[in-house]
Amino acid sequence: MRQKIAAGNWKMNNTLEESVALAQALVDAGSPSGVLTILGVPYVYLDKINQIVAGAENIEVAAQNAHQELSGAFTGEISVKMLNSIGVKYVILGHSERREYFGETDELLLAKTNTVLGAGQIPIFCCGEPLAIRKAGTHITYVIDQLKNSIFKLSAEDFSKIIIAYEPIWAIGTGETASPAQAQEMHEEIRKAIAEVFGNEIAEGTSILYGGSVNAANAKDLFSNKDVDGGLVGGASLKADVFVQVMNGF
C-alpha cells in the first residue's frame, strides 16, 4: 500500500514564534493513523521545528530546496550535509516557483536529486504545467517530458525512493484548483509513465501528491481518487486548524 502523505510547504512565511506555535499545534493534534505529515520549513527554522516534532509519530520536516554540490563557495546556499547534520530527512525539489523564479532546469534538478539521494534523504520532486499548456491540451505530454528529462534517468532503485508532487502551476496560490477528475487524470498518466520505465511494482509503490490550492474544503474529494496519495499544500498549511483538516482528508 502506498504511503498517504500530507505535506505542507510553508514557503517564505512566518516568524520563528509563529512557526513554533504552528508546529506545536500540529504535534498536539497528531498525524492521523497511516498518514505521514511532512512540514516544508524555511531553512532558518529547520533545526528548531525538527526538535519540536522529534517525539511525534509520523511527523517529519523537509527543506524547501538544497544545492547540488556538497560544499563550496556558494554564498547563501544550503547543502545536504548541512541538512543531514540537523536530521532533515526530506527535501522538496523542483517546485514551480524554483523553476520559474530561479531558472531551475530539468538537468539541474536531476543533479540535485542525485545529491539528495546520495545523502540518504528523500526528494519530494515537483512537476506541473502552466496555464497556456493546459489550455493547449498538451499538459500530459508536458509533465511526462519533465519527468523523462530528469528523474526518469535514475536507476530503478533510486527512483523507488522518490515522492512525486504534481502541481498545476495555474492552480498554485490562485484559488483555482484542478478538479478531482483533472487531478486523477494526470496522476494516472504519471503512474502509467512510471510503469513503462520502471515497471508496475515501482509505479504502484510511488506516492504521487497533488499540489495546487488544496484546502480543508477540497482535500477529501481530491484524496479520494485512487492515484492521488495526498497533497503538497501551500497557504492552507500555515493555519493549524485548516491543515489538520487536510491531514484528516483521507
Does the annotation mark 95 as catalytic? yes
> Measured between alpha carbons, how far is 191 from 169 in angstroms, rounded to an integer?
20
Cα–Cα distance between 30 and 58 in angstroms, integer?
8
Distance between CA 23 and CA 156 in Å, rounded? Answer: 35
Distance CA 197, CA 208 (A): 16
Asked if residue 232 lies in contact with residue 165, where contact means CB atoms within 8 angstroms, the answer is yes
The active-site residue, picked from 60, 97, 167, 187, is 167
Q: Which are the contacts of 38, defined by CB distance < 8 A and separation ≥ 6?
A: 5, 6, 7, 8, 59, 60, 61, 62, 90, 124
Specify whether the CB–CB gap between 59 and 37 falls below 8 A: yes
Q: Which of 60, 67, 95, 104 is catalytic?
A: 95
Active site residue 57: no
Radius of gyration of the chain (CA): 17
Catalytically active residues, by annotation: 95, 167
